[in-house]
Amino acid sequence: MGINVSLATSQANTIKSYASVLRNIRSNLENNKANLNDRWQASEVNSINKAMDELMSEIHKLSSELESIGNDVKSVAIEIKNEIAKEKAEAEAKAKAEAEKKAQAK
């Protein structure tokens, strides 16, 4: 059984693109907050700012987690592929050594 590193890389890139979308959403939210603060001076603005800050913090956390997951998917796929290749090479070397041993025994 093998692993399709190209597929895993593609999936990792998709996950990382979701992180990028979240970063863009956070940026838009920051811009909207700045516009709100420029145009509306009321006591409610403090509560709105707090809610927006909490939301931006959560978005930042999620985008960082997605970025990390994307990187992990790719690196683990490569690690698995390398481990499978190593095991295959070891099995082939063992089979070759056994075949040579049998050939010498004749």
pLDDT of residue 102: 87
- Total domain count, the chain: 1
Burial of 66 (C-beta count, 10 Å sphere; 0-12/13-18/19+): buried
Examine residue 74 and state whether it is found in any structural domain, yes or no.
yes
Examine residue 100 and state whether it is found in any structural domain, yes or no.
no
Computed over every residue of the chain, the mean pLDDT equals: 94
pLDDT digits (tens, 9 = 90+) for 94-104: 999 999 888 88
Q: Which of the pair, 65 or 104, is modelled with greater confidence?
A: 65
pLDDT of residue 67: 97
Q: What is the CATH number of the domain that holds 41?
A: 1.10.287.1060
Half-sphere exposure at residue 7, Cβ-oriented, CA atoms within 13 angstroms:
4
E strand or H helix that includes residue 4: none
pLDDT of residue 1: 61
Examine residue 103 and state whether it is found in any structural domain, yes or no.
no
pLDDT of residue 3: 83
Examine residue 89 and state whether it is found in any structural domain, yes or no.
no
